[in-house]
Structure 1
Amino acid sequence: MSTQNKSLFSNFSPTSKQEWKDKVDTDLKGVDFNKLIWKNFNGLNFQPFYNSEDGIESLPNTGLNSQDLVNFRSIKVSTSEEGNQLAKLAINEGVNGLLFEIDGKIQVEALLNGVDLNKVAISFLLQFDQIDFAKSFLIYAVSTLKQKENLKGYFDFRGISNYVTNGSLNKAFFDNSVELLKLTGAFPNFKAFTITGASYLDSGSNQVQEVAYSLNSLVFVVEKLMEKGVDANQIFQGLHVELAIGSEYFIEIAKFRAFHSLLNLLANEYGVTDFNPFITAKTSVWSKSVTDAHTNLLRATTEAMSAILGNVDGVLVDPYDKEFNEASQFSNRIAGNIATILKEESYLGKVANPVDGSYYIEEATQKIAEKALILFKEVEAQGGFFEAFEKGLIQDQISEIRQEKIKWISQRRLPLVGVNKYPNLMETVSSEVLSSGASSDQKLLKPRRASLEIEVVRKATELLVESIGKRPVIELCSFGNLTMRKARAAFSYDFLGVSGFKVLDEKSYDTAQLAAEASAESDSEVVVICSSDPDYQESALNFVETFRSKNSEKVLLLAGNPVDLLDQLKEAGLDGCLHIKSDVIQTLTAIQNKVQEHYKSLEV
């Protein structure tokens, strides 16, 4: 087989990267090749193609693909008995990791009755009675384990994440971490404390920031624990890290690999060369939506894939409806199935580092690591994590990236299915589940959905529907050139569907005059003119004048951007245009305001 392949490829001469580029330049027909270079929110540039000439070197210590990937399910525990029932249900559904969120007095024996700690990873998010509960759990674990190495999982006090999101740094976090490092020392695969970086990405940061700030916060904790007499080897051996997973598939793979490498580099600075951290990846809040919520299943799947390929030890997939509902048995089951299918049926957890050697991913890993290391050093130069956060440096840098992302979302340059593109017009959404807006407190980080600003627009529609008893109607009124009117009607349908108004199918007319007369008198609140630029030159002004002579209340828009006609059209009564550069939030808000004014005038 090998000989045949060599014989086959010997018939083809090697193609250099320059020859490929020359071919691309020919196909671009004068368009600048640099327009194909991808720029992302990390400030990194990536080429449209790579080959062996790129000679990219792999970073060391990027992690190993986990053969024993832990598929976590989060369980809120109100009573020991209920928590135990939910735990057994999760295990029966194929989950091999449980994260208990405990906020109160819970009996360990009752909670874990029938759960095999030799096979199932057990973790705890603890808010109160941390040490007493941990002691009870470890005593119980010893009584049920075949060997102490079998106990896998971690404790999480939310020490750092509470600080960055609530502004409170519980000093007991450090004392409790010291105590738990001692208690868990005999259990090499159970981690005593957690560093959470998910709050950064979920607040709108880029991947470089998440990696850098997570390492900065780790240094802060390490220094505090060492001041209390804990050895660096013991600290790193007891470390669990939780990172969020964003929607940029390949960049997320590279992020986790880069974090592995930088974590090892950091540990080496403390003289630690042999340690076994546990890294968990959690599907992000930022990328999820409450409109067309089933799309969250697709987002969670690609996120879990990128994390597994990035060599994490465990994944926590949130239910698709978590952002607006109490997770149901169905949504929990589907969330658990995602990681199980990826591991068992897609074999992502059964092959050795499948992305190693990919030119693109290797370069992305290298670039993210390099830039994250620079940012990490900048924060340390500012006095370290705590000082930088107290000064607002970290918040300001994340805010800058977040605002840029929101701008791109509103301009539809960053598509979110069901949010700013491809809305589900058959869906009804209660105003109660939609956001009233993002927090304005710049001193703290607030994990949030990227869609909040667009949700405010949709919420205004739903409140209007509740107040007037009907859903406002948008009419797509077309005439002239068939190809262009169809294309612009389709664009308008997609663009305006985000509002939550009822968008009717395109209605075509033989002439602009007929279209204007019919749409002016129809039962709709918004009319969109759809045709070609030559047709606009000939008939748009007449359309607007005819329309306004019959109706002065409706919102009248034009699909396209005939710059040389705009002043005349607006003077005649056109409210605005829809085109590729239109801002979703600004455009829809203006439409809503005029529709609301109309209905308020009727009340008077």
Structure 2
Amino acid sequence: MNTKNKSLFSEFSPVSKQDWMEKITVDLKGADFDKTLVWKNLSNINIQPFYNEEDKTAYLKNTGENSQSLVNYRNIAVVSDEKGNSLALKAIEEGMNGLIFCVSEKTSAAKLLKGINLNQVTVSFILGTNAVSFASEFINFVKGNGIATENLKGYFDTSLITNYITSGTIEASNFDIVVELVKLTTDYSNFKAITISGTEYLDSGANQVQEIAYTLNSLVYVIDELTKRGVQVQSIFDNLNFKLAIGLEYFVEIGKFRAFNNLLSEVANKYGVTEFSNTLTAKTSIWSKSVTDAETNLLRCTTEAMSAILGNVDGVLIDAYDKEFKNSSDFSSRIAGNITTILKEESYFGKVSNPVDGSYYIEEVSVKIAAKALELFKEIEANGGFYTSFESELIQQQIAEIRLQKLKLISQRRTPMVGINKYPNLMETIKADLLSDAVSNTITKVLKPRRASLEIEAIRKTTEELVAETGVRPIVELASFGNLTMRKARAAFAYDFVGVSGYKVLQEQSYSSALEAAESSAKSNSNVVVICSSDQDYDESAVAYVKAFRALNTDKVLLLAGAPANLNELTEAGLDGCVNMRSDVIGTISSIQQKVQKSIKA
């Protein structure tokens, strides 16, 4: 048979979505499909467990282009001209093709940029009070060095919106400064004078829809203020650089950036602007990072960078993995820069044109995010716009609602975060002063970018302060008996759950009977004991275990791994609580700590 022109797998008939659903229904054995398999994202988007050609939707237009000249940025805090220049040259030597200078003091552009080829390296500046004078000097330096106008790339960032939403105040002079920057960069089409940031929304607990909508609402506010000052709308759109944070939800983040590009074009069209040139810079989020098991931040940064690049951003800024608790080292800064380089050069992320286009999953996610974001954008505009909505604290209230939902999911371990609420590194020691105190989640006038892990860090801090004060690290014993499979599984679960506390969790200790386990664990040098066995064993022996244990020891914390049917009887006998899939890690461990601290200090 001639198979030369035969399509691959053509002898197999296609499988329809209905065929898949029938198979899934059988495998679920009566379980609810939506509750079991449909992911309900906090952006109020339902994501199906599978997609095929039948799910082909009307694709979004103007979702951006995968950047072939992706900018790999490094942040440089300028404490002096010489030091800033030295760090910049070192970054270029290490493969960075983008530099973001944080200029706060009187700085010489000529000294800062000495030896840097502005025809090849993208340079951007976060400017403070001396914004106009530094920008003027910078442009004069560029002209004096004969840099081709089309080769100068980068942006000015006066933190226009950032300062407002994190301090609650904004002055008319802030817009006057931006007007001057637009005039200075008139001849340089690839250098942007207006930066609008949305990173603070995501880092304060917002979802992707809110980040897009509020960023675009703030754009409308900026356009209104600048046009009052004589700046043309076309000039505004041609001078725009946006900064968005990158969250942990990989595919949803890809859709977020694509949806943002689409809605930006829609907004521009409403102003009569059909063609414009903006840039989009993505930054790894603060929200997703951890102080405990900090090396895990490297993995988070990698997946975040991947989703941003696939989402068609123009530049990526990756924070060093240890930035949240110390001044970044040369090593951590170098590793952060290498992530984008590897993705671009070795994984070909910057060499393939729009690789996610046509993916049923990502296309549908993009469409749904765009629709939800447009709906919220219109709601804020109908409420009087960005400034009015922020002053009335509507935006803050909406973000607080999502933030509390996110924190609840983290505390319930339904949103797993490695090294934080799942798989803690029990070999790690960490100083108490690096950890956060308990924080308040009441609605405030301003947004406060923060890590999602702060409440759990506060638990760990309580432990580390106890160790520093008493010299004793509490010990957790896993006492198991009965059914081998279930006791192993529940011991592993308890090890992971209680390990978040920072206590020393011993490996499972197996006993031949419940009474032997009770007597031995009551007399051991542990501070917390977790009973691990099967539901049947609990029905038969757990009450006897608790009574025998309490007859010998009333000071220790006694827990049970699972959800026993006779919990009330066990509690009356002296059980302190349970750890299971429904347990709240913050509430459970906090109650454990209170009793352990009293016991140790006594």
TM-score, structure 2 normalization: 0.98
Deviation, 1:156, is: 0.5
Are positions 1:403 and 2:404 aligned together? yes
In structure 1, distance between residues paired with 2:391 and 2:581: 41
Contact 2:563 2:578 (8 Å CA) reproduced:
yes
Q: After the TM superposition, which residues 230-241 of structure 1 pair with which residues of structure 2 at under 5 Å, given as runs? A: 230-241=231-242
Q: Is the 8 A contact 1:72 1:95 kept in 2?
A: yes
SS in 2 for 1:356: coil
Which residues of 2 match residues 516-527 of structure 1 at below 5 A? 516-527=518-529
The answer to whether residue 110 in structure 2 is matched with residue 114 in structure 1 is no
CA contact (8 A) 1:287 1:299 kept: yes
Pairwise CA distance, 1:3: 6.5
- Residues 69-123 of structure 1, C-alpha deviations (whole Å, 9 max, x = no match): 0000000000000000000000000000000001101111111100000000000
d(CA) in 1 for partners of 2:88 and 2:149?
22
CA contact (8 A) 1:410 1:584 kept: yes
- Residues 448-467 of structure 1: pairs in structure 2 closer than 5 A: 448-467=450-469
Where do residues 45-444 of structure 1 align in structure 2 (5 Å cutoff)?
Answer: 45-439=46-440, 440=442, 442-444=444-446
Q: How many aligned positions are there? A: 599
Q: Distance in 2 between matches of 1:229 and 1:395?
A: 31
Counterpart-to-counterpart distance in 1, 2:158 and 2:372: 30
The 2-side partners of 1:374 and 1:4 are apart by: 52
User: How far apart are residue 273 of structure 1 and its match?
Assistant: 1.1
**8 Å contact kept, 2:397–2:443:** no
Answer yes or no: is the 8 Å Cα contact 1:145–1:151 preserved in 2. no
Alpha-carbon distance between aligned partners in 1 of 2:439 and 2:573, rounded to the nearest angstrom:
38
State the distance in 2 between where 1:430 and 1:142 align: 51
Distance 2:124 2:558 in 1: 57
Counterpart Cα distance in 2 of 1:356 and 1:374: 24
Residues 126, 156 of structure 1: 8 Å contact kept: yes
Q: Distance in 2 between matches of 1:145 and 1:535?
A: 82
The alpha carbon displacement at 1:125 in A equals: 0.5
C-alpha distance in structure 2 between counterparts of 1:393 and 1:4, whole Å: 64
State the shift of 1:511 in Å: 1.1
How far did 1:437 drift? 2.6
Q: CA deviation at 1:54?
A: 1.5
Partner of 1:540: 542
Q: What secondary structure, in the 3-state scheme, does the structure 2 residue paired with 1:546 have?
A: helix
Q: Residues 191, 414 of structure 1: CA spacing in aligned structure 2 closer, same or farther, 3 A cutoff?
A: same
AA in 1 matched with 2:555: E
Q: Runs of 4+ in structure 1 displaced over 6 angstroms?
A: none
Alignment partner, residue 33 of structure 2? 33
Per the alignment, in what secondary structure is the counterpart of residue 6 of structure 2?
helix
For residues 173 and 314 of structure 1, what CA distance do their matches in structure 2 show? Answer: 25
Tell me how far apart the structure 1 counterparts of residues 500 and 171 of structure 2 sit (CA, whole Å). 43
Cα shift at 1:8: 4.2
| 1-structure distance, mates of 2:4, 2:586 | 59
Cα 1:235–1:12, aligned 2, differ >3 Å: closer, same or farther? same
Counterpart amino acid of residue 10 in structure 2: S
CA contact (8 A) 1:118 1:145 kept: no
Using the TM superposition, give the Cα deviation of residue 491 of structure 1 relative to its aligned residue in structure 2, in angstroms: 0.2
Question: 1:523 is aligned with what amino acid?
Answer: N
Per the alignment, residue 586 of structure 1 pairs with 587
Q: Give me the whole-angstrom Cα distance separating, in 1, the residues matched to 2:386 and 2:154.
A: 27
Answering whether residue 12 of structure 2 is matched by residue 12 of structure 1, we say: yes
What is the DSSP-based 3-state SS (H/G/I as helix, E as strand, rest coil) of the residue aligned with 2:559? strand
Q: 1:323, CA displacement in angstroms?
A: 0.3
Which shifted more, 328-337 or 430-439? 430-439
In 2, Cα distance between equivalents of 1:89 and 1:134 = 24
The answer as to whether partners of 1:117 and 1:145 remain within 8 angstroms in 2 is no
Separation in 1 of the partners of 2:238 and 2:122?
17
State the 1:45 CA deviation: 0.5
Deviation at 1:441?
Answer: 5.5
Q: From 549, 553, 556, give the equivalent of 1:554.
A: 556
- Distance in 2 (CA, whole Å) between partners of 1:544 and 1:460 is 28
Instruction: Check 1:343–1:7 CA distance in 2 against 1; reply closer, same or farther (3 A cut).
Output: closer
Q: Does the 8 Å contact 1:59/1:365 carry over to 2?
A: yes
Which whole-Å CA distance do the structure 1 matches of 2:170 and 2:91 have between them?
33
Q: In 2, are the aligned partners of 1:117 and 1:144 still within 8 Å (CA)? A: no
Deviation, structure 1 residue 55: 2.3
| Deviating more after overlay: 32-41 vs 389-398 | 32-41
| Farther off after superposition, 208-217 or 267-276 | 267-276
> Alpha-carbon deviation of 1:7?
4.4
How much is the aligned-residue C-alpha RMSD, in angstroms? 1.1
User: 1:264-293 deviations in whole A, cap 9, x for unaligned?
Assistant: 111111111111101000000000000000
User: Helix, strand or coil for the counterpart of 1:210?
Assistant: helix
| 1:567 to partner: Cα distance | 1.2
Q: Secondary structure at the match of 1:315?
A: strand
CA distance 1:245–1:397, change in 2 (3 Å): same
- Given residue 362 of structure 1, which amino acid in structure 2 is its aligned partner? E
Tell me how far apart the structure 2 counterparts of residues 515 and 53 of structure 1 sit (CA, whole Å).
57
Query: How far apart are the structure 1 equivalents of 2:536 and 2:554?
Result: 26
3-state SS of paired residue (1:141): helix
Bigger mean CA offset, 435-444 vs 399-408: 435-444
- 1:36 to partner: Cα distance: 1.0
Structure 1 residue 566: deviation in Å? 1.1
Deviations for 1:31-50, whole angstroms, at most 9, x for unmatched residues? Answer: 22222111110001011111
Give the 3 Å change call, closer, same or farther, for CA 4–456 of structure 1 in structure 2. farther
Could you tell me how far apart the structure 2 residues matched to 1:396 and 1:530 are?
43
Determine if contact 1:155/1:191 at 8 Å carries over to the other structure. Answer: yes
Counterpart in the other structure of 1:44: 45
Q: Does 1:494 align with 2:510?
A: no
Deviation string, structure 1 residues 119-158 (Cα, Å, up to 9, x no partner): 0000000111100000000110112244111000000011
Counterpart check, 1:530 vs 2:529: no
Aligned-partner Cα distance in 2 for 1:192–1:401: 32
CA distance in 2, matches of 1:468, 1:147: 66
Q: What residue in structure 2 maps to residue 566 of structure 1?
A: 567
Q: Distance in 2 between matches of 1:581 and 1:159?
A: 44
Aligned equivalents of 1:3, 1:189: Cα separation in 2: 53
Q: Does the aligned pair in 2 maintain the 1:72–1:314 contact within 8 Å? A: yes
Aligned counterparts of 2:520 and 2:331: Cα–Cα separation in 1: 48
- Residue 537 of structure 1 deviates from its aligned partner by 1.2
Match of residue 478 from structure 2 = 476
Offset, 1:4: 4.1
Q: CA deviation at 1:168?
A: 1.8
Distance 1:533 1:412, change over 3 A: same
Matched, 1:22 2:22: yes
Q: Which moved more, 1:515-524 or 1:23-32?
A: 23-32
